[in-house]
Amino acid sequence: MARSKKQIWYFDLEKIERDGEPLNVTELKVKERLAHDPREQLELQLMLHEALKQLTPKQRQVITSQLTGATLTEMARELHVSVPTIHEIVAAAHRRLRMICQQEGCSR
């Protein structure tokens, strides 16, 4: 029986609560779940959706898989690439999302 690996997500809750700092994808998801105002929650979802649209198709697929809890091995198998290649795609996607969020103010 194969054991599945769980991914550990790191985020800074204090950074999420402060305004003015760009947030990474994980922090945006946490902030979305913590949002009490439905309008604020919708706005965060729209910002994340717009930021994801600016990624390449492979980057978008890997980030989406990552958010749903897929392991690196599962993502590599799905895309027919090696695990190190998945690491490179994830790193490039995170860099791109950070840049997008800095430019467009995703930290609201």
Q: How far apart are CA 72 and CA 22, in angstroms?
A: 26
Residue 78 lies in a domain: yes
Q: Output the pLDDT for position 98.
A: 83
Q: In Å, how far are 25, 77, 90 from 80, measured between CA atoms? A: 24, 5, 15
Residue 37 lies in a domain: yes
Q: Please tell me the total count of domains within the chain.
A: 1
Residue 13 lies in a domain: no
pTM, to two decimals: 0.57
Q: Output the pLDDT for position 106.
A: 61
pLDDT tens digit string along 27-61?
777 777 766 666 766 777 778 788 888 899 999 99
Match 């490039």 to its residue by tokens.
Answer: 92
CATH number of 90's domain: 1.10.10.10
Question: Which residue range forms the structural domain that includes residue 38?
Answer: 19-104
Q: Give the mean pLDDT of 53-79.
A: 90
Residue 73 lies in a domain: yes
